[in-house]
Amino acid sequence: MLSIWGSKGNYAYVTARVKAKKSLLISKDNYPKLMLMDLNEIGRFLGETQYQVEMTELATKYDGVNLIELGTSRNLARVFTDILNFSKGDLRNMLERYLMRWDYWNIKTVLRGKYYGASMEDIQEDIVAAGKFDEGYINLLISQEGVEAVLKELKETQGLEIPDEVIEEYQTTQTLAPIEDYLDKLYFAEVLACVRCRGRAEKLFKQFLRKEVDVTNLMTLLKLKKEGLTPKAPQKYFIEGGEELQIETLEELSKAENMERLMSGLIKFSFYADIKEALEEFKQTGSLSPVSLAMQRHLLRSSGKFSHIYPLSVLPIMDYMLRKKQEVDNIRIIARCKESDLGPDQIKKLLVM
């Protein structure tokens, strides 16, 4: 069918399926209950929800935090793959590009695991096979001897070639940051290029993607400020294509002498009201976690607003995917905090709802 995008895709069918899936998300009322449960109780609770299949399959081999993390990750991959599989036309093409973020996520997870000498099982716990790469191929990457071997495999089988200057910087600095930054830039360049802005809904979708670039760039800016660095080549650190934070803007903001000046420079942006308190906390404690959580909440509010404006487009699908991902993150945070004996009040501060 032709959607309001002016392009072919089974939007009505997919948005109806996603609406049904959205009704299965854990309600806000359940989170206080989850925060009072122990790990076994959380596992049993998940086994009675949409996570039942994965929790049942994995329960014979895993328990505690490992069961919860693996079960929720595999459910996330299955749900996103299902959505992709019953999408058609341009809708499928866009979702396929969007879900490639999980391929890049998995590549970075494997590289980190190899860099720090993690076991195959430890690396697999953080894998989400929701993109083009299936578990078999990801396990092939995990089986490689080291970082260089993983990169060689990706080049030979996927045509993913990391520029020589990035490899040289990795070898010089002995950190994965240059490779990870390059992969982030590559992902956003590809996904932004596939959105052709042929209608209002598609323009809003691209605007939302650019907001995600802003989030990434803002966090990079704050990390640089925390380390007392003013980049001489901003394009090396920041991603092109932001909605409000263009490279030139980020360059000016990076020159701020202190956090007071930086916060003054951020006042004019639409996200400032949502992160003002978190920035104050960062100024006092040096912790970026509150800012990251505040920006995630800002994104969720934006996606919810956009999805209501255009119910027969990719926007409600994106909104659901974000909320599903956030649900999995929240469950995993609760499980890890329970393992560390943190109380409900401490856990609540780390959740995004």
Record the tokens describing residue 93, joined without a space. Answer: 């093409």
Confidence of residue 327 (pLDDT cuts 50, 70, 90): very high
For residues 229 and 162, the model is more confident at 162
Confidence of residue 2 (pLDDT cuts 50, 70, 90): very low
Mean pLDDT of the chain: 91
Confidence of residue 212 (pLDDT cuts 50, 70, 90): very high
> For residue 8, what pLDDT is reported?
76
Q: Determine phi and psi for 8, rounding to 5 degrees.
A: -80, 140
Residue 198 has pLDDT above 80, yes or no: no
Mean pLDDT (whole number) for 339-348 = 93
Specify burial of residue 195 (Cβ count, 10 A radius: 0-12, 13-18, 19+).
buried
> For residue 1, what pLDDT is reported?
41
Q: Where are the domains of the chain?
A: 89-194
Record the tokens describing residue 11, joined without a space. Answer: 């939007």
pLDDT tens for each residue of 9-18:
899 999 999 9
Question: Which among 346, 324, 315 has a CA at the least distance from the CA of 14?
Answer: 315
For residues 282 and 200, the model is more confident at 282
% of the chain residues with pLDDT over 90: 74
Mean pLDDT (whole number) for 151-161 = 95
Mean pLDDT (whole number) for 292-315 = 88
> For residue 295, what pLDDT is reported?
93
pLDDT tens for each residue of 158-182:
999 999 999 999 999 999 999 999 9
> For residue 199, what pLDDT is reported?
76
Residue 5 has pLDDT above 50, yes or no: no
Residue 318 has pLDDT above 70, yes or no: yes
Residue 43 has pLDDT above 60, yes or no: yes
pLDDT tens for each residue of 131-151:
999 999 999 999 999 999 999
Mean pLDDT (whole number) for 332-341 = 95
Specify burial of residue 120 (Cβ count, 10 A radius: 0-12, 13-18, 19+).
exposed
pLDDT tens for each residue of 84-100:
999 998 889 889 989 99
> For residue 226, what pLDDT is reported?
84
> For residue 4, what pLDDT is reported?
41
Strands (E), the chain: none
Q: What end-to-end distance do the CA atoms of the chain give, in Å?
A: 34
- Would you say the pTM of this structure is higher than 0.85? yes
Residue with tokens 């956030």: 326
> For residue 7, what pLDDT is reported?
55
> For residue 323, what pLDDT is reported?
95
Mean pLDDT (whole number) for 95-119 = 95
> For residue 144, what pLDDT is reported?
96
Mean pLDDT (whole number) for 240-246 = 93
Specify burial of residue 167 (Cβ count, 10 A radius: 0-12, 13-18, 19+).
middle
Looking at domain 89-194, which CATH architecture does it have? Answer: Up-down Bundle (1.20)
Residue 19 has pLDDT above 90, yes or no: yes
Radius of gyration for the alpha carbons in the chain, expressed in angstroms and rounded: 21
